[in-house]
Structure 1
Amino acid sequence: MLLSEAIEAAFGTVITLKNSLHKDFELIGLAPLESASPRHVSYINQEHYVKELKDSKAGAVLIKESLLGKIPSYIQPLVVENPHLAFALLSQLFAKRDFVNCEYSESNIHESASIAKGVSIGKNVHIGAHTVVMSNVVLADNVSIGEHCKIYPNVVIYRESEIGNRVLIHAGTVIGSDGFGYAQTAQGEHIKIEHSGKAVIEDDVEIGANNVIDRAVFGETRIKKGSKVGHSCVVAHNSIIGEHSLLVAQVGLAGSTTTGRNVILGGQVGTGGHVHIGDFTQVAGRGAVSKNLPPKSKWGGHPIMELDEWMKFYVKLRRLLKTQKNTKQNN
């Protein structure tokens, strides 16, 4: 559809475009600034992303009026009060189908693969040699699973997810679901952002039971080779887990968290969005990662601090509480 048609269909009375189009074009979708083509729309919601405009090939950008003068002449500015909300509304025009065609004849299943009864298999699904798919698994359209994998009962793998070789995914896990992404209207209503990316699990990864690995808004959420994820963890959209990392039970990673290789996150560690944890870094259980952490370091606590400092702080705190208790008893 044309850009002008998409704006009319998506915005309605919720969003007002504050400028006229100086160019119209056939719109194929939404994309981030760094990968957008002249037939994509992107958006900027914070000023520090403006520097990425000079290298972007986007056909149009949703932007606030205060940033209008910083748009290159070859990009169509779409001036709106709330670019994040406008992006959410446009994303719904390009939502992809998730489930499930059940057209086995159009899928590529190796003759040595073992598929249990009750498995739902969508269109254009690939399952490699000697892979075992157990009962009540759901594989949506365009899923790819490599060789020598085990997919345990009640796993759901959403569309376009890619699973490497020798991967174990335990019961109840969901791969490639939408991330938790919404934009708010002025009235406080929550408008869903459709996630058009995918989830990728590389070779030799093991994922425990009842995990959620979200697909990306754009691009990929990726768990790299050899990493192990414990039970009941959440890896949010656009996160990247480095090679041979360990996520212990109940770890929660907010969107766009990235790690280097051989990172260890203890039980119930949580991260804020858009933080990076360096190679060979460890975070003790229940640590709250709110900032980038350098490589080869150890951290703990909330607020996060280096582990030795956290342990000394904890000892001093216990001593202080004991002193206060004794003082009250003596009085």
Structure 2
Amino acid sequence: APNAVIGNGSKIGANCTIMSSVTIGENVKIGANCVLFPGVCIYNDCEIGDNVRIHANSVVGSDGFGYAHTKEGKHIKIYHNGKVVLENDVEVGANTTIDRAVFGQTRIKQGTKIDNLVQIGHNCNIGEYSIIVSQAGISGSTTTGRNVVLGGQSGSAGHLHIGDFTQIGARGAISKSLPAFGKFSGHPLLPIQDWLKLQALLKKMLKKK
């Protein structure tokens, strides 16, 4: 669109569509056949592969939420010098934010689909073909294997690993690393069969009252 802004040194591949009010920072690399919907903001130095779609008002590459804390209780900003990399065939929903790394990169691997209103913290690494549903939040330096599913409003603490093909139910609270091929739900997080049994027991206890 005529009012899109493209920073110095940025490169955009063939057959891309850059819509109204998109802002692309300096030294950004965007592959072929990408669509950036209105209001998308890509910060400096980020890299986007081929066939990527980023929906309206999403932000890729903003600073992570990182501060050093003094004895007096002041919060001193930590500069984030890394970047975000979105690999081929990634889709990012509207109003989603993906933070840049402190050092190195935050990486979303090939084929991952991210819903609206998702927060991905700095230095995260999301495995291939994962699904992250609306309002999920992933704290900094958490990594996932491939084909992980995070249900709506689920969240993780930082510096964890979620194994390949593991699924987390809606509002699941991930407080420790999880093995591959697991299915979990609840808060505190339980294997889904245990969580269902717990709900049934609680229901029976309420009926007895």
TM-score by length of 2: 0.99
Match of 1:320 in 2: 205
Pair 1:170 & 2:68 matched: no
Following superposition of structure 1 onto structure 2, how do residues 1-331 of structure 1 map, counting pairs within 5 Å?
Answer: 116-324=1-209
AA aligned to 2:75 is: H
Q: 1:228-284, CA deviations, whole angstroms, 9 ceiling, x for partnerless residues? A: 000000000000100000001111000011000000111011000011000010000
AA aligned to 1:227 is: T
Q: 1:20-68, CA deviations, whole angstroms, 9 ceiling, x for partnerless residues? A: xxxxxxxxxxxxxxxxxxxxxxxxxxxxxxxxxxxxxxxxxxxxxxxxx
The whole-number CA distance in structure 2 between the counterparts of 1:123 and 1:174 is 19
The whole-number CA distance in structure 1 between the counterparts of 2:53 and 2:94 is 10
Q: 1:85-114, CA deviations, whole angstroms, 9 ceiling, x for partnerless residues? A: xxxxxxxxxxxxxxxxxxxxxxxxxxxxxx
AA aligned to 2:143 is: T
Calculate percent identity across the aligned residue pairs.
54
Cα displacement (A) at 1:320: 1.4
AA aligned to 2:120 is: V
Q: Which has the higher contact order (CA 8 A, sep 6+)?
A: 2
User: Aligned to 2:206, what secondary structure does the other structure show?
Assistant: helix
TM-score by length of 1: 0.63
Q: 1:266-310, CA deviations, whole angstroms, 9 ceiling, x for partnerless residues? A: 101100001100001000000000011100110001111101001
Cα displacement (A) at 1:322: 2.5
Cα displacement (A) at 1:220: 0.5
Q: How many residues align?
A: 209
Q: Which runs of 5+ in 1 are unaligned?
A: 1-115, 325-331
The whole-number CA distance in structure 2 between the counterparts of 1:196 and 1:322 is 57
The structure in which a higher percent of residues are helix is: 1
User: Aligned to 2:64, what secondary structure does the other structure show?
Assistant: coil
Runs of 4+ with deviation above 3 angstroms: none
